[in-house]
Copies of this chain bind each other. A is one copy, B any other.
Amino acid sequence: MFEPIERSISRFINLEKEEFDFFKTLLTKKNFQKKELILRSGQICRNVYFINSGCLRYFYLVDGEEKTAQFFFENSWYTDYESFLSGDPSENFVDVIEDTELLCLEKDSLYKLYSEIPKFERFGRMMAENAYLGIRHRTKTLTNLSAEERYVKLIKERPKIFERIPQYYIASYLNIQPQSLSRIRKKLVTKG
């Protein structure tokens, strides 16, 4: 149950056995079922999560329409950085696309780790840096490519998404309407 998270952390820092054992005592396992809402707008996000299994969708509302910002799969980390860092209520939602098992680390615990074990401060820095690189990549995709190019790129870069996520969520992630995605797919099939 803790191997995936240990492997994930060890890509950034090397923990002594005792350090990881201590870390484990701070984690709580949580299970959620498909369609559950893990986070809703207005709630304060006070935790960081590691996804042991399953799939989550991170989204927000613009004029009542859901805008999907990200999908999270097993072996990745997730938090609502805006709310987590500021302590303000979130403007986002997270729902469950496949039954999901999470390991939950509370903000207080994480900050304690930061203070007591400098290696974790480094881990936190690297996580934030990676989050930055990830969203920068996404921003460039969204602002510089046409809808069709974004679709083709997504197939290439994250084919797994197409096996596990309904098409209308993918459209939302590509920042287009489901009808537009259908149109694009048809066009690409027709011309090979």
Residues of A that sit less than 8 Å from B by CB: 62, 67, 81-82, 85, 114, 118, 121-122, 124-125, 128-129, 131-133, 135-136, 138-139, 142-144, 175
Contacts and interface: CB of A to CB of B under 8 A. Distances in A.
Contacts of A136: 81-82, 135
A125 B114 CA distance: 10
Contacts of A143: 67, 142-143, 175
A82 B138 CA distance: 13
16 contacts: A67-B144, A81-B133, A81-B136, A82-B136, A85-B129, A114-B125, A121-B121, A121-B125, A125-B128, A128-B129, A131-B132, A135-B136, A138-B139, A142-B143, A143-B143, A143-B175
